[in-house]
Chain A
Amino acid sequence: MEVVGGEVDYTFVIQKSLVLLLCVVLSWKMIVYMCNLLKIEKEPIRVLVTGAAGNIGYAIAPTIARGMMLGQDQPMILHLLDIEPASKSLEAVKMELQDSAFPLLHGVFATTNIDEACKGVNIAIMIGGFARKEGMERREVMSKNAVIFKAQASALERYASDDCKVLVVANPANTNALILKEFAPSIPEENITCLTRLDHNRAQARLAEKLSVPVSSVKNVIVWGNHSSTQYPDSNHATVSTKTGDQPVNELLVADQKWLKNEFITEVQQRGAEILRARRQSSALSAASAACDHIHDWFLGTPKGNWVSMGVCSDGSYGIPPGLVYSFPVICEKGSWKIVQGLNIDEFSREKMDDSARELAEEKALAYSCLNV
């Protein structure tokens, strides 16, 4: 640096200051790294699982405890609930969770008392319900479940945390969720959802198989409606990621339109029965995995450009009557979901969507009659 007659050359000073600034900016990384070392652990989230002694509960508990549902840095406390006859099995599940030494699992609380179980929960996964037995009438199943979910609604309303997110898995999922919503008016209706992610994943996998691509490259299938045999798996907006970008499934399967409108739909609808036949037990592994995905995406957000299917309270979008819990395509951001608007619905889809809506309205009427409301 030149000193000219005792005076400092200012342009040179500015140059040097810029270099200094650059070094400070680079050193910011150092500061950030050191802050990471001092990172404070997050507060544990309380997760309630009802029907925890059953097969789906047994499959979902380790996925939650490993951080697959809420992220690898989110500790949790599990609340496990089941009915009195299953209390020994429930205790055994708690013992097994302790035996597995999960670092993120900060506590397990197993109980048969619904009020105790709901205290302070931030996430509630309602797997417990009355399963349909041979020879049971639809009305009977409906009435038993309506009673269960009415009781759970009051417990949740009174004891769960204000921001509690609810996922109903037990069938009839949509109607059980509706009962829950009706009898827990202080829980915001956007926090009550039901599981149709299983059908969404099945549809995605089915398309991937047909196209011989990895399952993760198929996206944006939609499952509309009721989680029953009237569900409508819609491939009209699905795309496949290829080296040349996203290609619509309809284009790739242009020769298989008939398959898309027939076999594809029935295969997804009846996949549950197929698995039941093969395993002699209903699908716990995939149901637990789908429930985990549902909460994960709701909580942490859907990837950009992707949507998923969730059974949510209808707000009238796509001509679906409000006041039903109906499966829509949603994107999730910052802990809340939003229905994807503006998708084109062709005539074929319109018919199927309306069929499912009709079935849901019937189930709703049936449920209310059982409760004498």
Chain B
Amino acid sequence: MSSESPSFLYSIAFFVAFAIPEALNILLPAFGDAVTQRRVKVERAYPPLLLPVIVTGVTVEKVTSSISPINRDRSELPKAITHEPPQKPQIPIHFPAIIDDLDPMAKEPVRVLVTGAAGQIGYALVPMIARGIMLGADQPVILHMLDIPPAAEALNGVKMELIDAAFPLLKGVVATTDAVEGCTGVNVAVMVGGFPRKEGMERKDVMTKNVSIYKSQATALEKHAAPNCKVLVVANPANTNALILKEFAPSIPEKNITCLTRLDHNRALGQISERLSVPVSDVKNVIIWGNHSSSQYPDVNHAKVQTSAGEKPVRELVKNDEYLNGEFITTVQQRGAAIIKARKLSSALSAASSACDHIRDWVLGTPEGTFVSMGVYSDGSYDVPAGLIYSFPVTCRNGEWSIVQGLPIDEMSRKKMDLTAEELKEEKDLAYSCLS
């Protein structure tokens, strides 16, 4: 569609500029000499007519291409480094990776790191990346999979399976237990690996273990990742792990470190679509504020549903504020626990899918008029204290996110947003105390 729109508009230009006068030229003589004068005037008007028409055509094309959901600006996709700077070790790629594809139009492969790749979220995530769900169906990828030494065999098994699946977009797989090798040259890093909470563990214990993991990964990323590497932290406590990563990798721009709250965002969309019995693609602009924990605040005050009569606010269609302020919020907050109860395992499928959505919208841009939830470094918007990784509504363009400003916040929302900010501040203090 995007390649057709310029030619369609130029064809409008042709049509207007040439066809109409030509048609007049054929028809007018039939009306006799009386209109000959007008015909001559029309012919003389050709050149001046052409220019404004072409200008209009170009303007209309720019406008329509920004509206079209298919035409996303890919110019800001991170570019893969095809050779390492001298002081970095030459990384052997364990799968024959031929960068010089036969197709001259093929893009440079992007390197994607997945930590904790031998686990179940990793197992669900890597085929999605290899199929082009995360970065687009025309973007080749090289997967870097990192995990801890006890999981080395299982990691190798995953690598074998990726090779067996003969994915055309997968140009190479690096499976390693060495953080340096894993991080070298990566353009996108999805940090799924972390220390999960076990029965009887104190919050402080989980925090200590995760803090030390993310501190060391921060150093590895900072030293070896490609410039402008985009980082997504999935492992819980996601917001605080991302904060630790940011604190110990000061040369990674803080706008490049985010945490996953898209899962909760998608869950909220799913709940609304179930409630209203509408397709989930018609629901948009829910917001998840705050911490990816049970204190998160799913906000539908700005959410809309596409109906046959245009976009309507969700509150208007659901007509049940009690539900939206009560059960809906608790369902979304506790969905993770509900899935664990039913599966006896945490939600890998939806987490992996949401991680793909998060990165894809970040890199390729959000559709016009839609915003999504991302856990990003707070700049003080909406009176959320700066210096926390807090989930905000964002739009993405040209590979950058920006917080949607100016949304009215009512009292109930204010309270909930402050509550989750409090919890994040406590987690931050706890994490820092674990480090010292």
Partners in one complex: yes
Chain A contact residues, majority secondary structure? helix
Does the CB pair A201–B1 fall under 8 Å? no
What CA separation (Å) do A59 and B279 show in the bound complex? 23
A90 to chain B minimum Cβ distance, whole angstroms, is 9
Give residues 299-342 of A contacting B (CB, 8 Å).
Answer: none
Does the CB pair A204–B166 fall under 8 Å? yes
Partner of A106, one of B25, B29, B33, B279: B279
Does the CB pair B347–A33 fall under 8 Å? no
Nearest opposing residue in chain B for A44, CB measure: B279
Segment of A16-24, A127-135, A149-157 engaged in the interface with chain B: A16-24
Partner of A209, one of B23, B95, B126, B263: B95
Partner of A29, one of B8, B95, B126, B280: B8
Asked if B36 CB lies within 8 Å of chain A CBs, one says yes
What CA separation (Å) do A208 and B161 show in the bound complex? 15
Asked if B339 CB lies within 8 Å of chain A CBs, one says yes
Does the CB pair B15–A96 fall under 8 Å? no
Q: Which residues of B contact A212 (CB under 8 A)?
A: 96, 98
A357 to chain B minimum Cβ distance, whole angstroms, is 25
Does the CB pair B127–A99 fall under 8 Å? no
Asked if B212 CB lies within 8 Å of chain A CBs, one says no
Nearest opposing residue in chain A for B356, CB measure: A66
Q: Which residues of B contact A92 (CB under 8 A)?
A: 339, 342-343, 347
Does the CB pair A23–B4 fall under 8 Å? no
Asked if A187 CB lies within 8 Å of chain B CBs, one says no
Does the CB pair B131–A68 fall under 8 Å? yes
Asked if A252 CB lies within 8 Å of chain B CBs, one says no
Q: Which residues of A contact B5 (CB under 8 A)?
A: 33
Partner of A288, one of B15, B101, B127, B279: B127
Partner of A59, one of B101, B127, B343: B127
Does the CB pair A101–B270 fall under 8 Å? yes
Asked if B202 CB lies within 8 Å of chain A CBs, one says no
A contact residues, total (Cβ < 8 Å)? 72
Report A242-267 CB contacts with B as 1/0, cut-off 8 Å: 11000000000000000000000000
Nearest opposing residue in chain B for A212, CB measure: B96
Known: A59-B124, A99-B266, A274-B160. Contact between A1 and B98, CB under 8 A? no
Give residues 191-220 of A contacting B (CB, 8 Å).
Answer: 198, 201-202, 204-205, 208-209, 212-217
Nearest opposing residue in chain B for A98, CB measure: B270
Report A62-100 CB contacts with B as 1/0, cut-off 8 Å: 110010100000000000000000001101110111111
Does the CB pair A23–B18 fall under 8 Å? yes
Asked if B91 CB lies within 8 Å of chain A CBs, one says no
Does the CB pair B126–A285 fall under 8 Å? yes
Q: Which residues of B contact A356 (CB under 8 A)?
A: none
What CA separation (Å) do A186 and B113 show in the bound complex? 50
Does the CB pair A243–B160 fall under 8 Å? no
Does the CB pair B267–A278 fall under 8 Å? no
Asked if A229 CB lies within 8 Å of chain B CBs, one says no
A1-B25, A30-B12, A100-B349 given; name 10 further pairs at CB < 8 Å: A23-B19, A29-B4, A58-B349, A92-B343, A102-B353, A205-B163, A214-B168, A216-B166, A279-B153, A285-B161
Can you spell out 30 A-B residue pairs with CB atoms less than 8 angstroms apart?
A19-B18, A23-B22, A24-B19, A26-B11, A27-B14, A27-B15, A29-B7, A32-B8, A33-B8, A66-B133, A68-B131, A91-B342, A97-B350, A98-B273, A99-B339, A101-B269, A101-B270, A101-B281, A202-B166, A205-B164, A209-B95, A213-B96, A215-B166, A215-B167, A215-B170, A216-B166, A271-B160, A275-B160, A279-B158, A289-B165
Chain A interface (Cβ < 8 Å from any Cβ of B): 1, 3, 6, 8, 13, 16-17, 19-20, 22-24, 26-27, 29-30, 32-33, 36, 58-59, 61-63, 66, 68, 88-89, 91-93, 95-103, 105-106, 198, 201-202, 204-205, 208-209, 212-217, 241-243, 271, 274-275, 278-280, 283-286, 288-290, 293
List the 4 closest pairs (A to B, CB-CB), nearest first: A278-B157, A92-B342, A279-B157, A23-B19
